Amino acid sequence: MTNKEFEAYAGYVRIHFGIQLSQEKKTLLETRLYRMLSELHSEEFQSAQEFYEYLMRDRSGRGREMLANAITTNHTFFMREADHFKYYADIVLPWWAQQLHNGDLRTWCAACSTGEEAYTLAMIHQAFFSLKSGSWDTTMLATDLSQAALAAAKAGIYDEAAVRSLPKSWQCNFQKNETGGMRVVDRISSQVIFRRFNLMSEMFPFRRRFHTIFCRNVMIYFDQPTRNTLIKKFYDLLEPGGYLFVGHSEVADRQVVPFSYVMPSVYRRM
């Protein structure tokens, strides 16, 4: 891949996905493109340049989706940054349970990757609200840019070792499937709606605000103006009193948006 080709791809990725590809990422991009083109087993694209030319003329969205699947990093696991989940279970949910009288809890997992975060939240909801009287709707929205990651999330099948690392009281939420993996049971998977969504979309088509938004470990790939724009959108999409959880290495610039600081990487719209 020439420097000119890399710069063309980097510009496309920045505009459409918000991801910054520094020159140090050239080899990584080249490797992932080569792997993607090799897996196609097709004469359609013989080089990165040919695929880029296809991107420029493609109007179907196929090429953009292929590139998104190739370059996105889907590294996650159950209970990642566990202090967030503890705070959510111990503080956030009890507060909303007192405030909400219609039983409608709205949560958005905004970069759900392969589903571990969303299912962790669903299990927390299950444990908490099973002890509450009344009818609660805790169905959450989980979105990601990568269609491949979403397919894995919807399948809900994980390594047995990953499941065994969870609290024993939660392991009943999985059952062994015929391939030897552990599949999320229906009572949990039915609580998550997975959808493809690009956080770089100009319009966020949500009709109602959320009580909590999790968007963790994705903004580290964005430049500061893109982060600020996204944080503003999250603020506007939260109910008063709503919480935003970001990754431990991420911050919300409170000079840009009037969030209240709660704890490291947790903010609140007061």
Cβ(195)–Cβ(223) under 8 Å?
no
CA-to-CA distance for 211 and 259, rounded, in angstroms?
Answer: 14
CA-to-CA distance for 75 and 189, rounded, in angstroms?
Answer: 20
CB-based contacts of 57: which residues, under 8 Å, 6+ apart?
none
Task: Encode pLDDT of 219-235 as tens digits.
Answer: 988 989 999 999 999 99
CA-to-CA distance for 262 and 244, rounded, in angstroms?
Answer: 10
Domain coordinates of the chain in residue numbers?
Answer: 3-71, 82-268
Higher pLDDT: 248 or 73? It is 248
- Cα dist. 37→51, 91, 124 in Å? 9, 47, 40
Q: Looking at residue 41, what is its pLDDT?
A: 66
DSSP the chain: --HHHHHHHHHHHHHHH-----GGGHHHHHHHHHHHHHHHT-SS--SHHHHHHHHHH--SSHHHHHHHHHH------TTTTHHHHHHIIIIIHHHHHHH-SS-B--EEETT-TTSHHHHHHHHHHHHHHTTSSS--B--EEEEES-HHHHHHHHHTEE-HHHHHTS-GGGGGGEEE-TTS-EEEPHHHHTTEEEEE--TT-S----SS-EEEEEE-SSGGGS-HHHHHHHHHHHHHTEEEEEEEEE-TT----TTTS-PEEEETTEEE--
Task: Encode pLDDT of 17-60 as tens digits.
Answer: 888 888 888 888 888 888 888 877 667 788 889 899 998 998 88
Q: What is the pTM of this model?
A: 0.83
Among the residue ranges 54-58, 116-120, 155-159, 238-242, the one predicted with the least confidence is 54-58
Locate 249 and state its tokens: 């290495």
Q: Looking at residue 127, what is its pLDDT?
A: 93
Domain 82-268 fold: Rossmann fold (3.40.50)
